[in-house]
Amino acid sequence: MDSLADLSKIPLALETLRRHPCYNEEAHRYFARIHLPVAPACNIQCHYCNRKFDCVNESRPGVVSELLTPEQAASKTYGVAAQLMQLSVVGIAGPGDPLANAEATFDTFRRVRETVKDVIFCLSTNGLTLIRHIDKIVELGISHVTITINAVDPEVGTRIYGWIYDEGKRYTGEEAARLLIDRQLAGLKMLASRGVLCKVNSVLIPEVNDAHLPEVARVVKEHGAVLHNIMPLIIAPGSRYEQEGMRAPRPRLVRQLQEQCADAGAVIMRHCRQCRADAIGLLGEDRNQDFTWDNISAAPLMDEGARAQFQKELDEKVRVRMERKEGQSHHKQPSTGAGCSCPLSGDKPEASFTSKPVLIAVVSRGGGKVNQHFGRAKEFMIYESDGTIVNFIGIRKVQSYCHGKADCNGDKVETMKEILSMVHDCALLLSSGIGDAPKETLQEAGVLPIVCGGDIEESVLEYVKFLRYMYPVQSKKGSKRNKGSKHNKGVKGNHSDLPNEHFGG
């Protein structure tokens, strides 16, 4: 399976693909999901995890603000679906492992189906007990399952898992890792043989499994995975990895591993937000706090006809985007790889900028639009373009914990340093607004801030063409990036005030 287009060969896959925001990059612009936190217990201990910590600014797996009973979860789903007509997926992803709480998990799905009949069911699991629940998953119509598989070599697994607990026995070391991996791969193969669409999540852990992940990609594809998500390590406060001083991977390494896993045959998910276990809304736009119990109790009755019509219109938008993307893939230029793609970089200093794609960071609340102020950004969507084709590269989060820090960072200077470390290889940064101080800091670092709005792809193409026009040829000496320039503090509307200098990355 070389692309998501090939999923259309799987029965019922195309319909669900168009509506599942995690399995389809195009669908995530339009369709929403709700994660129901009904599964608190977990049967393994990962060295990067600590589910006791919660912060309103946190967005990572294993974090919730409130646990729900199956009855509450079904009630909340109905209230959200009645108001959020683009809600297409109901998932259970924790905060522990759903199959370590199998009774509550399956009861929740059963109750939801009784009142909200048009949603896709999705389950995330570590896979330890998956083989015991295959029949129930199929019976309940859980059509999408995500399994977190960080290693297929028990020796690597011993550096990731502290222990596993199964049927009253606690396992540690290589014995634990081997049992877990065997169960994960067996469960994956069984689900795939029953027509369930399986995605594999793998946490990229520098100097632990980074060199091993291409092998993981090869093995999980052989066992039936249709999608592989390489997720940068997020180190939870109080976890073993935090105590050991482990650091999260830099964007360059994440992209390198994504490309290597793609070369191994995997279809790579690049738009993952590593969501909370109680997330609601579009990916990148968590609205959990909007749906309080007062809001749910005051929700109108669900209009099933209106939901069906609205989602049919969204289906068409997704279909058009998928076909356009499939057509572009036949004309795609080679990627620049994981290194800097700004105009002044490259192995040949005399090369024309027009022949090289550049990276663009975009601030967005969702919906495929440039529609968020720089100061409110918790993530950047990274695109690559040569001015004719736009390719989505991935998500870079900018919360301080993404770098292995235990507390939320309120220091603007330090926060800006972290942001620069995430976007330093980008030529442009598009947002709906930006203050003077960050404008100047970005410009001095060689990242041109653009204030704009509208469709992301259209904006990327427009401003990359502008960049090519203003800086058509790379500097032969690779000169510094206009450091200290007061002219290019940010661009909006008329661009004629920009100096005709070479712009670098």
Query: How do beta strands 120-125 and 142-148 pair?
Result: parallel
Per-residue model confidence (pLDDT) at position 234? 86
The CB-side HSE value for 215 (13 A sphere, CA atoms) comes to: 10
pLDDT at position 471 over 80: no
pLDDT in tens, 286-318: 788 889 999 999 999 999 999 999 999 888 888
pLDDT of 329 reads 59
Above 60 in pLDDT, residue 484? no
pLDDT for 108: 98
Report the percentage of the chain scoring pLDDT > 70. 79
DSSP 3-state of 250 = coil
State the average pLDDT over residues 66-91.
95
Is pLDDT above 60 for 207?
A: yes
436-444 and 412-423 are packed helices; what angle lies between their axes, rounded to 10 degrees?
A: 40
Q: How far is CA 29 from CA 242, 300, 373, 451, in A?
A: 34, 25, 18, 21
- Give the long-range contacts of residues 261-265, CB within 8 A, separation 24 or more: 261/213, 261/214, 261/216, 261/217, 261/228, 261/230, 262/217, 263/214, 264/214, 264/215, 264/217, 264/218, 264/221, 265/2, 265/217, 265/218, 265/221
**pLDDT band of 271, cuts 50, 70, 90:** confident
Strands 268-269 and 169-172: unpaired
Alpha helices (H) in 194-232, listed in sequence order? 213-222
Q: Given this model, what pLDDT does residue 19 score?
A: 85
Q: What pLDDT does 51 receive?
A: 65
Least confident of 16-25, 110-119, 349-358: 349-358
Residue-averaged pLDDT of the chain: 81
pLDDT of res. 52: 63
User: Measuring CA to CA, which residue among 173, 248, 144, 170 is closest to residue 205?
Assistant: 248
Residue 336 has pLDDT above 50, yes or no: no
CA gap 217, 225 in Å, rounded: 9
Q: How many helices (H) and strands (E) does the chain have?
A: 14, 18
| Greater pLDDT, 491 or 51 | 51
pLDDT at 255: 87
CA atoms within 13 A on the CB side of 233: 31
Residue 285 has pLDDT above 60, yes or no: yes
Quick: pLDDT tens for 449-461. Answer: 999 999 999 999 9
CA distance 244 to 242: 5
Omega before 249 cis (within 30°)? Answer: no
Whole-angstrom Cα Rg for the chain: 23
Higher pLDDT, 333 or 79: 79
Query: With 70 as the cut, is the pLDDT of residue 227 above it?
Result: yes
> d(Cα 132, Cα 121) in Å, to the nearest integer?
19
Question: What's the CA dihedral at 119, 120, 124, 128 to 10 degrees?
Answer: 120
Please name which of 239, 191, 181, 211 lies closest in space to residue 63, comparing C-alpha atoms: 239
DSSP string, 39-64: B---SEEETT--TT---TT--STT--
Cα separation of the two ends of the chain: 36
Distances in Å between the Cα of 57 and the Cα atoms of 60, 68, 234, 286 are 10, 21, 14, 11
- CB of 34 within 8 A of CB of 87? yes
Q: What is the arithmetic mean of pLDDT over 231-259?
A: 89
Quick one: tokens of 334?
């080679």
In this prediction, residue 7 carries a pLDDT of 53
Q: Region 12-33: what's the mean pLDDT?
A: 77
pLDDT (0 to 100) of residue 495: 38
pLDDT category of residue 60 using cuts at 50, 70 and 90: low
Q: At what angle do helices 251-263 and 213-222 cross, to 10 degrees?
A: 40
Average pLDDT over residues 365-393: 88
